[in-house]
Amino acid sequence: MPVNSLMVFFLISLFFVAMLQIHIFEIAFVKLGLTPEVASFLLLGTLLGSGINLPLYSMHTKETGHLVISPDRKPIWEIFQPAREGKVIIAVNVGGCLIPVGLCLYFISLQVIDPIKIMAGILAITALSYKFSRLIPGLGVGMPVFVAPFTSVLVALVLDPEHAAHLAYISGVFGVLIGADILRLNTIAALGTPVAAIGGAGTFDGIFMTGIIAALLA
Query: CA–CA distance from 57 to each of 2, 89, 160 (Å)?
Result: 51, 6, 38
CA separation, residue 158 to residues 22, 155, 162, 198, 216 (Å): 29, 5, 10, 29, 17
In the predicted structure, residue 153 carries a pLDDT above the cut 80: yes
Confidence label for 18 from pLDDT (cuts 50, 70 and 90): low
pLDDT digits (tens, 9 = 90+) for 45-101: 887 887 888 888 877 766 544 444 444 544 444 444 444 456 777 888 888 889 999
Whether the Cβ atoms of residue 218 and residue 158 lie closer than 8 Å to each other = no
| pLDDT higher than threshold 50 for residue 16 | no
Q: What is the DSSP string of 114-159?
A: -HHHHHHHHHHHHHHHHHH-EEETTTEEE--TTHHHHHHHHHHHHH
**pLDDT number for residue 91:** 83
Q: Does 21 have pLDDT greater than 70?
A: no
Q: Mapping DSSP to helix (H, G, I), strand (E, B) and coil, where does residue 2 land?
A: coil
pLDDT band at residue 102, thresholds of 50, 70 and 90?
very high
pLDDT bin (cut points 50, 70, 90) of residue 31 is confident
**What pLDDT is stored for residue 121 in this prediction?**
95
Q: What is the pLDDT of residues 164-197, one digit of tens each?
A: 889 999 999 999 999 988 888 777 666 666 777 7
At position 39, the amino acid (one-letter code) is A
